[in-house]
Structure 1
Amino acid sequence: MKKILFATTALVATAGFAAAEVAITGEAEMGIFNPNTEAQETQFFTDLDVRFTMTGEADNGLTFGATIDLDEAADRSNPGKFESPNTQGGENMFVAFGGARLTMGDTDGAVDFAVPEMGLAGGSLNDDETAHAGFNDADGFLDGTIFGVADDSGLAFDGAGDGQVARFDYSYDAFTFSVSAEQLANGDDVEVTVGTETFDLGSTVWGVGVSYSGDLSGVALTAGLGYQTIEDIGDITSVGVTGELTNGLSLGATYTQFASDIDGFDDIEHVGVGVGYSMDAVAVGVNWGQFDQDGDTIEGWGLAGTYDLGGGLSARLGYGKNDFSDVGGDDYNTWSLGLRMNF
């Protein structure tokens, strides 16, 4: 990916800084898509995203940086929300020294950071391969629904609060250990009443995780284990592993369980598998996943294909199938086709 740097790489030397750098990167996409083949017609697809990335290094070797994603910052219902210090609007920042790193803002909780997802190769304009009903993106609790006809589902607690996540990582050899926190209501305790029962949720989503990334007998192995909890709501435990062979083939599997503390609300389990292949300019990925709550299931599978045309330009195809038949919902498919430009 090309980086456009200000002021001839924007390297600045002052008494307080050893070096600082500012860069702009972005993507543009154009094509056609259908977000619901049962209810909508094929439409034009155009999208643009721009990021500003700032990095620096202090005299003592401490590194620091920040990123603002304009696609996330330009919230239609809350313009300029990234300017508010108690919410995140697409911005994150970090400080690091050696193997230790503290990141705050628009970043992953410990589960999402540690456990690999099953979109192993390729990509689409409309994220068809990772937005189907059976994909666990570990972001949000079933996309804000309890269980049933939901798409773009995640089984984790990221986003349960104000979206500001603080995560500390420590890397040693091939392992990274993580702990994260997200405030539910700017630090205040939260109580929710359902019927006649009141739940004390506390004030924080806590998470821990550990991940491994290294070479094992010629296989590029990535594995992760994560745990998140909200008081009186329940615990989420997730584990995943992926392996990439030298011939371009990659395989993966993941398992996640939500253990409920809510009376009358059954536990939820998710399983997912993925297969990918990358060689030269071609990348193709297929994944399948299923959520299960007391025998009721929703599931889906996704396909993504990419052909690299060089210079940051690629052709992309995506397809997603959403199956709600077991819970009485309407099945539907999604697809997209077009070009992506990386700058």
Structure 2
Amino acid sequence: MKKVLFATTALVATAGVAAADVTFGGLGRFGIYYQEGAANETTIESRFRLIVTATAESDNGLTFGAQVRYQANEHADGYSARTGAFNTPRFWVSTGPFTVSVGNTLGAIENMPNMYTGSIGLTGLGYANVVYNFGADAYTSGSTGRQGIDVIYSSGNWGVHLTYSPDQTTQNTGLTDTNERIAGAVSYTMGNYTFAVGAQSSDVVGDTDFAVTIGGSWGNLDAALQYADNGANDDKYGVAFNYQVGSATFIRGYVNQDNNPAVDDTNAGIGFQHRLGGGTFIEGGVADLAGTTRADLGLRFSF
């Protein structure tokens, strides 16, 4: 993450503002992606993401912030074709252990500890390790995200995250999503273990009703048990792990059962990451998603 401090007359002239802090960061990745049965089974994969974060602190110690992302992929992937796009911004104010965020919603269930344990490869290979199946609010890069409110508390061993997103037809021009979501998650860390539970109220069939994760660390091994009730007689449960096999090499994997009536099958994947230093990585993996093989291999760097 590169930091640029703007302390010009224009920024500090306003009463009550000491300085504005603007940071630029992000990532780049490129490699090869394979998906069995696709029209073009092997394709070139690439992504560029730029994250711009601006913060300022008031005289009474409140921290104000805003963040926006620009993202472009190698193909038309929901963004502005091959030209990429900025997403909708997120704004927040923080004091002590509390943060209130407005705009592009983060999502309480999406951000539960250990929800993403076992993510593999350069691209995530479909992120089938995520048991809530994305039936809840989540921050969106490069395009319009759901607009809502996050209230976050983090202190000591406890974490609490509440999310509300209203009918989106009143929030985003052109959208017809009339779903209203209310979600919450609580986590507690005790020694080497972290327990988290989340719940959501939504009227959309297939949205997650309940989720729980339990994660632990034992030397070089991090592992997690994950479960989600995704509504409509659909639940998903499994185990995931990260294991450090050397000073710079990690093995990651997962296996789970998805009882979605449209899938009703097992997902499994394994991948590796080798750290080259300076925020650069070699990453790859292979996954079986309900009988369909996916694989990738490539390079990633953070800045």
**1:187/1:204 contact within 8 Å kept:** no
**1:258 offset after TM fit, Å?**
3.1
Matched, 1:338 2:298: yes
Shift of 1:271: 0.2
Match of 1:30 in 2: 30
Alignment deviations for residues 65-100 of structure 1 (CA, whole Å, 9 cap, x no partner): 1111101899327x9986xxxxxx242121111111
Alignment of 1:80-119 (within 5 A): 89-119=87-117
Cα distance change, pair 126–304 in 1 and its aligned pair in 2 (3 A): same
Would the aligned equivalents of 1:162 and 1:184 in 2 still touch at CA under 8 Å?
no
> Residue 241 in 1 paired to residue 220 in 2?
no
**5+ long unaligned stretches in structure 2:** 172-176
Indicate conservation of the 8 Å contact 1:115/1:226, yes or no: no
CA separation in 2, counterparts of 1:54 and 1:236? Answer: 35
Distance 1:321 1:202, change over 3 A: closer
Residue 250 (structure 1) aligns with:
222
1:236 Cα deviation from its structure 2 partner: 0.5
- Describe how 1:284-323 pairs up with structure 2 within 5 A: 284-293=251-260, 297-323=264-290
**Closer, same or farther: CA 304–6 of 1 in aligned 2, 3 Å:** farther
- Tell me the distance in 1 between the aligned counterparts of 2:71 and 2:240: 28
Share of identical aligned residues, percent? Answer: 22
Specify which of 180, 186, 197 is matched with residue 204 of structure 1: 180
Higher relative contact order (CA 8 A, sep 6+): 1
Residues 187 and 195 of structure 2 are in contact (CA less than 8 Å); yes or no, is this contact kept in structure 1?
A: yes
The answer to whether 1:136 aligns with 2:130 is yes
Tell me, in whole angstroms, the C-alpha distance in 2 between the residues paired with 1:8 and 1:31. 40
Q: Which residue in the other structure is 1:181 paired with?
A: 164
Q: What secondary structure, in the 3-state scheme, does the structure 2 residue paired with 1:114 have?
A: coil
Displacement of 1:158: 5.1
Residue 7 of structure 1, CA deviation = 5.0
**2:121 is the counterpart of 1:124:** yes
Provide structure 1 residue ranges, at least 5 long, that are not aligned to the other structure: 83-88, 139-152, 189-200, 260-265, 324-330
CA distance in structure 2 between the partners assigned to 1:289 and 1:48 by the alignment: 30
TM norm structure 2: 0.81
Asked whether the 8 Å contact 1:71–1:90 carries over to 2, the reply is: no
For the residues of structure 2 that align with 1:114 and 1:6, how far apart are their CA atoms?
A: 32
TM-score, normalised relative to structure 1: 0.72
Is contact 1:51–1:69 with CA below 8 Å preserved after alignment?
yes
CA deviation after TM superposition for structure 1 residue 41, in Å:
3.4
Residue 182 of structure 2 aligns with an amino acid whose one-letter code is W
Matched residue type, 2:235: E
Alignment partners' CA distance in 2, 1:36 and 1:7:
49
Give the C-alpha shift of residue 55 in structure 1: 1.6
Q: CA RMSD in A?
A: 3.3
CA deviation profile, 1:294-329 (whole Å, cap 9, x unmatched): 797133112221111111211111212112xxxxxx
Letter in 1 for 2:240: G
2:151 aligned residue? 168
Deviation at 1:102, TM superposition (A): 0.5
Q: What one-letter code is carried by the residue in structure 1 that aligns with 2:294?
A: T
Instruction: Report what 2:42 is aligned to.
Output: 42
2:134 pairs with 1:154: yes
* Correspondence for 1:75: 79
Contact conserved, 1:118 with 1:252, CA < 8 A, in 2? no
Distance 1:137 1:294, change over 3 A: closer
